[in-house]
Amino acid sequence: MLKIENLNKSFGDNHVLKDVNLDINKGEIVMITGESGVGKTTLIRCLCGLEEYDAGKVLFLEDGEESQNKSIGLVSQSFDLFPHFNVMKNITYALIKVKKYKKEDAVKKAKELVDLLGLSGLEDYYQYQLSGGQKQRVAIARALAMEPQYLCFDEPTSALDYKLRDSVGEIIKTVASRGTGVIVITHDREFARKYANRVYELGA
Residue 76 domain-assigned?
no
Q: Is the pLDDT of residue 64 over 80?
A: no
Distance CA 124, CA 130 (A): 11
Residue 77 domain-assigned?
no
Shared domain for 39 and 94, answered yes or no, is no
Q: Is the pLDDT of residue 155 over 70?
A: yes
Shared domain for 51 and 105, answered yes or no, is no
Residue 183 domain-assigned?
yes
The confidence score (pLDDT) of residue 69 equals 66
Indicate which CATH number applies to the domain containing 196. 3.40.50.300
Q: Domain span at residue 139? A: 82-147
Q: Is the pLDDT of residue 36 over 90?
A: no
Shared domain for 118 and 156, answered yes or no, is no
